[in-house]
Amino acid sequence: MITIQLSTQSPYRMEADVLVLLTHHARKQGILRGLDKRLDGHLSDQFQREEFEAKDGQKLSCNTLGKIEAPRLLLVGLGEKDDDMPQFRKAAASSIRAVKNWKPTSLAIAFAQSPKNLGPTIEGLALGAWLASYHFNHYKSGDNHDSPLKDLTLLLPARTSAAVRNDLEATLHRVRILAESIITARDLVNEPPNTLTPTELANRAEEMAAKVGLECDIFGPSELREWGMNLFLAVSVGSVEEPRLIHMRYIPKGRRKRKNAKVLALVGKGVTFDSGGLSIKPTSGMVGMHADMAGAAAVFGAIQAIAQLKPTIEVHCFIGATENMTGAAAYRINDIVKGYNGKFVEIKNTDAEGRLVLADTMAYAANQGVTEIIDVATLTGACLVALGPWTAGLMSNQQSMADNLLEASHSTGESIWQLPLIEELRPTLKSHTADLANVGGRYGGAITAGLFLREFVPEDLHWTHLDIAGPSFADKDLHHISKGGTGFGVTTLVQYTMKQK
C-alpha cells in the first residue's frame, strides 16, 4: 500500500511529482488565482481552451513550467455537490488513475476551497487512494507490474489546529485498517480456486485471527456430520476438497456481558469454486466462479477490521467453505436432505447450493447465542438481473435492523436496495415429499432464495440477508473499484457494527 501522510505545507512549495487540486468551481479565487498568477496566465488559457468548469469528474492537466515545486498540475472538478466521504473517495481514486501513465512516485492533493468537514474528506481521499492503487498481480511473472507511486501527501488548510490534526491522524489510522481489510477481501476473491481451497481459506482465517487477536475455531467433515449439518455436507461431497466451517469471535475486553446484550453474527457463503454440481454450468457460466466466495471474503475482511477498531458489542463470524463439484459422490436432483435445524429439503437444482451452505451455517450460528445475523452471499443471478451490477439486494425479518444497515451503506457509498420478502412467493418452495424445495419458480428468484433462508433462522432472531452477486466482482476499473474482486460489503458491515451498542 502507498504511504499517505498529512501536511500543512503550501501547495506552491510542495515537492511532489504531481500536485492535484480539487475544486468546486473554475473562478480565479484563492489558490486558483495564485496559481494562475504564478503560471503567467497559462491556467486561464487552459480553462478557456478546454472549457474547464470544474464539473464533477472533469479534469485539466498542465506543466507548471518550474513556477512551483511540483512539475505537473492536475485539476479535478468536484461539481456543486455537498462535500461527503464518497465524493472525495471518487475524486482521489480518479486522480490516481488519471496520473497512472505519468508514472509518478509521489503525489500531493490540495483543496482550492476549504472542505466543510475535514474528517469525512480525509477519510474519503485516503480510502479512495488506497483502493484505486490496488492491483492483484501475484501471478504475473517477468517485469515489475507494481505502480511506481509510493507516497501521497494530503495538504490540509494552513490554519489547521494541532487538535484537529491529531483527530485527522486518528482518522487516517482507522481508514488504513479499513482499506487493508477491503484489500484482504479483494485478494481472497481474486485468488484462483486451485490456490484458495476451503482448507486454505481456513488456514488464512487462522493466520489473520492470530494476527489481530480473534478467537478462531475450524471444523471439518467429522464435526459437520456429528452436528447434522447435512445440507452443507451435501454440497461438498462431490469434491475431493474437504469442507471447512470457520468460526471467528471478537469479544470486547473488560466488558461484562449484560443480560439481553446484542451479539452479532456475520455469516458468509464460501463456495471457493462452483461448477453447478450435477446441474452443471456451461463453460461461460463457470468462468469467474472462483468468486462465489465473495460473501465469505466480505465477512472475513469485516471482522479483520472489527478486531482492530474494537466496537463495544460481541461479534462472531461464520464461514461455510466448500466446493460444489460433480464427483461420483455428488448430491443429486430429488435427493432429500435433513438440515441442522431438522427441516428436510428436496434438491431440485444442485446449482442452488449457496443457500444450502448458508442454511446450515446460519442455523448453527443461531445456536451459538447470537441475537442478530447478517448473511452475505453471491446468491442469485436474479438479484443481478433485478438491480444491476453495482447494487446489492437486502431482505430482512426486522425492519429497524434493515434501516440501520441501509443507513450504514448510504454513509459508506455502497449501493444496497431493499427487496420485499413477498409471502405470496413462499408456496413456490413447496415440495410434495419434503418440508421445502431448494428453489422456487421462475420468477422472483432473489426473493425466493431469501424466503428459503428465512426458514433456517429462529423467528425471534433478527436477520438480514445481503445478496451481493452484482457488486462483488467488477469487469473493469471504475474509480476506487478495481477489476476483479471489489471487497463490497466490508465498509457497510464495519460501519453498521461500530454503531451498535
- Residue 82 is classified by DSSP as P
Cite the DSSP H helix spans in 191-236. 198-212, 221-227, 230-236
Instruction: Considering the candidates 90, 249, 269, 355, report the single residue annotated as catalytic.
Output: 355
Q: Binning pLDDT at 50, 70 and 90, where does residue 391 land?
A: very high
- Burial group, residue 167, by CB count within 10 angstroms (0-12, 13-18, 19+): middle
Can you give the pLDDT at residue 173? 98
Are 123 and 165 within 8 A, CB to CB?
A: no
pLDDT at 82 over 90: no
Separation between Cα atoms, residue 157 and residue 30, nearest integer Å: 12
Collapsed DSSP state (helix, strand, coil) of residue 220: coil
Q: How far apart are CA 402 and CA 459, in angstroms?
A: 16
- The DSSP result for 332-361, as a single string, is -TT-EEE-TTS-EEE-S-TT--HHHHHHHH
- Mean pLDDT of the region 254-278: 90
Q: Which residue type does 466 have?
A: L
- What is d(CA 111, CA 115) in angstroms, rounded to the nearest whole number? 7
Q: By the 8 A CB rule, do 252 and 314 touch?
A: yes
* % of the chain at pLDDT higher than 90: 93
pLDDT value, residue 151: 97
pLDDT digits 0-9 by tens, 111-146: 999 998 999 999 999 999 999 999 999 898 876 667
Residue 27 pLDDT grade (very low, low, confident, very high; cuts 50, 70, 90): confident
Q: Are 281 and 274 in contact (CB under 8 A)?
A: yes
What pLDDT does residue 260 have? 79
Q: Determine the 3-state secondary structure of 185 from DSSP.
A: helix
pLDDT of residue 424: 97
pLDDT of residue 255: 66
pLDDT the model gives residue 435: 98
pLDDT of the residue at 253: 87
Angle at 15 between CA 11 and CA 18, to 5 degrees: 75
CA 203, distance to chain mean position in Å, is: 21
430 a catalytic residue: no
Q: Round to whole Å and give the CA distance between 425 and 333.
A: 22
Catalytic residue among 165, 176, 262, 281: 281
CB of 340 within 8 A of CB of 228? yes
What does pLDDT average to over the chain? 96
CA distances from 196 to 202, 206, 389 (A): 9, 14, 24
Q: Is the pLDDT of residue 327 over 80?
A: yes
For the question of residue 116 being annotated catalytic, the response is no
Let me know the angle formed at the C-alpha of 359 by 353 and 362, rounded to the nearest 5 degrees.
135
CA–CA gap between residue 92 and residue 310 (Å, rounded) = 28
Q: Which domains are assigned to the chain?
A: 3-160 (3.40.220.10), 179-499 (3.40.630.10)
Nine cell digits for residue 319: 464461514
Residue 257, pLDDT score: 65
Handedness of CA 98, 102, 107, 111 (dihedral sign): negative
| Cβ contact 26:123 at 8 Å | no
> For the whole model, what pTM was predicted?
0.96
- Within 10 Å of residue 1's Cβ, how many Cβ atoms? 13
Q: Place 256 in a pLDDT band, splitting at 50, 70 and 90.
A: low
Q: Which of 106, 110, 108 is nearest to 148 (CA)?
A: 106
Q: What is the mean pLDDT of residues 248-263?
A: 84
At 429-479, the pLDDT tens digits run 999 999 999 999 999 999 999 999 999 999 999 999 999 999 999 999 999
Say if residue 150 is exposed, middle or buried (CB neighbours under 10 Å; 0-12, 13-18, 19+).
Answer: middle
